[in-house]
Structure 1
Amino acid sequence: MLWNQASASQAPGRWLSTRRRDPQHLAARYCEFNLDNLLVAANQLTGYKGVSKCVKGQYNKGFVLTMDNGEQIVARLPNPNVGPAFFTTASEVASRHFMPGPRVLGHSGPAHLCLVYRQVEPRYSLGSIWARMCRSSQFVIIDQVVEIEGKLASVLFPMQGCLYYTSDLKSNIPEAEGLDITPSKPSGLKIELCRQLSCFAIGPSNDRKLWNSERNLRKLDRGPWTSPIHYVTALGTNELNWARHHAKPRMNYYRSTETPENLNEDILNIARNLVPKQACCEYDYINTLSYPDLHLDNIFHRP
């Protein structure tokens, strides 16, 4: 059965400045799902005895499931506006392998691509307590963040894109290959880390800018990209592809007389000059893990 429509819809907030587009915004946050299937998937992990809604995010809907042993886990389902549901979910699961935080108990399944986390003890976002913390405590947290960033930057990848488990990526892209981790890789890479990385693959970017609106229907180069030049030219080619099929003129008397196609072609003509032909040092063209949305409200402190 489907839970009531309010559970699948965006309830709080409206877009006053664009009232006529309100249905469009609501549709982007409408996620129809089968609650029974979600509960079946959770029950396969461990028995449950209750379920309740939790606060809805901008891109996801969440439910708190109370298990037979009293513990609670969170089931999260992506809204349409999150971007490509499969790639977003699969990449987040793989990336969390390297990050401290709630353990992923399961993902995907008949309930619609969902993430299920174990809920940890009470914690606070740094944004709510940072101003009240003493300087020494702030330095301790900064050191911890730098340590985590250092670990992420210590692993080098041969391509730019998003990280996935090879098994997940192959289910969508059969020809996908895992990372070729061999002794010829950077000397600092330990044998155990090589073993762990062998089950990962670099796949397409899940950046919403490459998937939103009509772009979702077009065959674009979303990666992985093998070099900075490949990346720059791919973005320009993607925009040229979109402009030729979907660009619309705007009522702007000061706009350029050039068409979008002309501007994108100019960018492609100079793209190879935007990136140095030779790296100045060994660290110029490296691909490492990074977290693009790191701010105080996304860092949690365990009291």
Structure 2
Amino acid sequence: MGSSQINWNANDEFFKFTRGRFIVNEVENLRKREIRFDMNSLARVAADSVGAARCTAIKKYPDGMYNKAFLMSMDDGQEVVAKVPNPNAGVPHFTTASEVATMDFVGSFCPPPTPISLTCLIWEARKVLGTPAPRVYTWNSHAESHSVGAEFIIMEKAQGVPLSQVWDTMTLQQKLRVLLAMTRLQKQWLSVSFSHYGSLYYTKDVQPPAGSHFVKDGMAVKDSEFAIGPATGRDWCDAGRSSLDVEKGPWTSLTQYLQAVGARERKAIQSLQPPKTTALLCGPKLYQPNKENKLTALTWYSQILDALIPTNPAITKPSLWHNDLHDDNIFVDPQHPENITGIIDWQSCHISPLFTHNPDPAFLAWDGLEPETLDLAPRPALSGLSAAERSAAVQEYTLQNVFIGWRKLMAAKNAELYRVVEFRKTPAYGLLFLAHRVFEYGEAHFQSLLVDLKDTWADLPAISGTSNTAFPFDFSEADIERIKRDSDGAVAGTELIAQVKEHLGDLWPDKGFIEHECYDECRAALREVKDMILDQLAESDEERAEYKRHWPFD
């Protein structure tokens, strides 16, 4: 059979999630990551998009949590990447349309080929933020209108190699140069703000709100090809939220946006089945989530919302951001790994208040406590330690100081972004953050933070400039006792999960996922630690059954 006659649809693994297994709700997790479409048609579209006669090879990249990506090789040597969203990626049409427009908006100049083509003339407009994002050759966000039978994006292959391949072998100086390059990119992102909160689209793909525009270096840009439309961020899609009939923007004010977040969480609590959470263990002596506590937390949130909003416009402005800068989404030059050559996966990047975005790239891998100062950590004392202990201590020391070095750069180069770091240390941010995910978790901690807020109420920026604005709640001793009991139980449940994570080490199923080769060992380790916890906590057969019911893993 000639290459032009290859039946790509015969490869069943193209359409399924094949990267690993799930330890939490595996059947459902696999179902929402399987998508059927016509790969033969997608291959023809990809070839046509770059002027090739045919596609001669297709390689599937390791599955993402929300997408499938394929490297397609053409008969003339060209390579492109085809991306198809899974059913769990987000709201149909909007998720893909926003991703494409966002990549165009953040992109940098297209280097002109010889001779200059129409394609390049179109893509030279990709210059608003100067970020090396992939060029899109063709795309479709209406699955029912195309022979492929699914939404798709055909884009250029990122130059270089993923940072994950070289980071551990890079010198400290090279790592610091990567951080400096990332600082410059984020500085560019900060140079633009928007008239509304939501997500970015082409004007032709949404109904633009009145006055939709963006501001670049202080200059308003109106009547461009870009417009702001419904939000596509992960918190608007995860755990079934994409199916909710709620207002998804765009919003003209921060208060409207944050009120819509509360309304979304309320609707989710009332109409969706809560997902299993691996954030904390629940049971008779621990916290047990319930709708009443969640809805009460949201009622209180709506009553104090205006007091929580920071008054500094630098951190409340509508900002576009990439919140998933892990080391597989950043590409670098393999010969000079300090040079960033590409940033991929702009799906679900959205326009929200700067303080809701993650200021720190995930590739820094620091999950320790927030540094109290920007002073570098002292060298660890290694005498008397085993070889493994010395290695762990040096690694911790290196991770911490690279992270602090990043924060020092941010404080010096991106003062606006560093204000976000400072705001994130406040109770006001904690309450705003927890409100975004109350459907899944956090209501016990929210209520506890709110009780504690009474002592610092007058210090909130939105309150300190006014007079006679009293703390709006009068908690009884019984209320405070119940809230403290719930909070203590939630903290204990969180600490137990932390112990499970430490016990499992590399076998810990992050987001419920584990590689195929580790699946059996992971399940065995979880059964062992489950029995240990049940023996420790359960004092009766009834309690043991209740803990088993709440155990989050399959």
Matches of 1:210 and 1:120 in 2, distance apart? Answer: 28
Q: Does 1:176 align with 2:208?
A: yes
Calculate the TM-score normalised by the size of structure 2: 0.47
Matches of 2:230 and 2:10 in 1, distance apart? Answer: 33
Which segments of 5 or more consecutive residues in structure 1 lack a partner in the other structure? none
Q: Is 1:240–1:265's contact at 8 Å kept on the other side of the alignment?
A: no
User: In the TM superposition, what whole-angstrom CA distance separates every residue of 1:37-77 from its partner, at most 9, and x where no partner exists?
Assistant: 21232233122241312223222222222223211111111
Instruction: Please name the residue that 1:106 is paired with.
Output: 138
Correspondences of 1:145-156 after superposition (within 5 Å)? 145-156=182-193
Matches of 2:233 and 2:189 in 1, distance apart? Answer: 20
SS of 2:319's equivalent in the other structure is coil
Deviation at 1:247, TM superposition (A): 5.7
Deviates more, 1:80-89 or 1:230-239: 80-89
Matches of 1:299 and 1:230 in 2, distance apart? Answer: 34
Instruction: Please name the residue that 1:43 is paired with.
Output: 47
Evaluate the alpha carbon distance shift between residue 36 and residue 268 of structure 1 in structure 2; reply closer, same or farther with a 3 A threshold. same
Hey, which of these two has a bigger chunk of helix by percent?
2
Correspondences of 1:62-211 after superposition (within 5 Å)? 62-97=69-104, 98=106, 99-108=131-140, 110=146, 111=148, 112-121=150-159, 123-168=160-205, 170=206, 175-177=207-209, 180-181=212-213, 188-189=218-219, 194=221, 198-211=224-237
Q: Does 1:264 align with 2:268?
A: no
Instruction: Please name the residue that 2:514 is paired with.
Output: none
Q: Is 1:180–1:198's contact at 8 Å kept on the other side of the alignment?
A: no
Matches of 2:216 and 2:154 in 1, distance apart? Answer: 35
Instruction: Please name the residue that 1:11 is paired with.
Output: 18
Evaluate the alpha carbon distance shift between residue 215 and residue 283 of structure 1 in structure 2; reply closer, same or farther with a 3 A threshold. closer
Q: Is 2:14–2:60's contact at 8 Å kept on the other side of the alignment?
A: no
- 1:53 aligned residue (53, 59, 62): 59
Q: Is 1:179–1:199's contact at 8 Å kept on the other side of the alignment?
A: no
Matches of 2:165 and 2:217 in 1, distance apart? Answer: 42
Calculate the TM-score normalised by the size of structure 1: 0.81
Instruction: Please name the residue that 1:217 is paired with.
Output: 243
Which segments of 5 or more consecutive residues in structure 2 lack a partner in the other structure? 1-6, 107-130, 277-281, 335-554
- 1:273 aligned residue (307, 315, 330): 307
Deviation at 1:252, TM superposition (A): 4.6
Deviation at 1:114, TM superposition (A): 0.9
Instruction: Please name the residue that 1:300 is paired with.
Output: 331
Deviation at 1:294, TM superposition (A): 1.6
Instruction: Please name the residue that 2:522 is paired with.
Output: none
Matches of 1:284 and 1:100 in 2, distance apart? Answer: 25
Q: Is 2:19–2:63's contact at 8 Å kept on the other side of the alignment?
A: no
Q: Is 1:178–1:200's contact at 8 Å kept on the other side of the alignment?
A: no
Q: Is 2:57–2:74's contact at 8 Å kept on the other side of the alignment?
A: no
Identity score, percent: 28
Q: Is 1:203–1:223's contact at 8 Å kept on the other side of the alignment?
A: yes
Match for 1:32: what amino acid?
R
Deviation at 1:293, TM superposition (A): 0.9
Evaluate the alpha carbon distance shift between residue 252 and residue 223 of structure 1 in structure 2; reply closer, same or farther with a 3 A threshold. farther
SS of 1:164's equivalent in the other structure is strand
Matches of 1:101 and 1:186 in 2, distance apart? Answer: 19
Deviates more, 1:6-15 or 1:157-166: 6-15
Q: Is 2:212–2:228's contact at 8 Å kept on the other side of the alignment?
A: no
Q: Does 1:23 align with 2:27?
A: yes
Q: Does 1:32 align with 2:62?
A: no
Root-mean-square deviation (Å)? 2.9
Q: Give the aligned length.
A: 285
Instruction: Please name the residue that 2:464 is paired with.
Output: none
SS of 1:137's equivalent in the other structure is helix
Q: Is 2:73–2:80's contact at 8 Å kept on the other side of the alignment?
A: yes
Matches of 1:275 and 1:262 in 2, distance apart? Answer: 20
Deviation at 1:34, TM superposition (A): 0.9
Matches of 1:216 and 1:130 in 2, distance apart? Answer: 36
Matches of 1:178 and 1:148 in 2, distance apart? Answer: 30
Matches of 1:81 and 1:219 in 2, distance apart? Answer: 16
Higher Cα radius of gyration: 2
Matches of 1:188 and 1:262 in 2, distance apart? Answer: 42
Deviation at 1:88, TM superposition (A): 2.2
Matches of 2:210 and 2:153 in 1, distance apart? Answer: 23
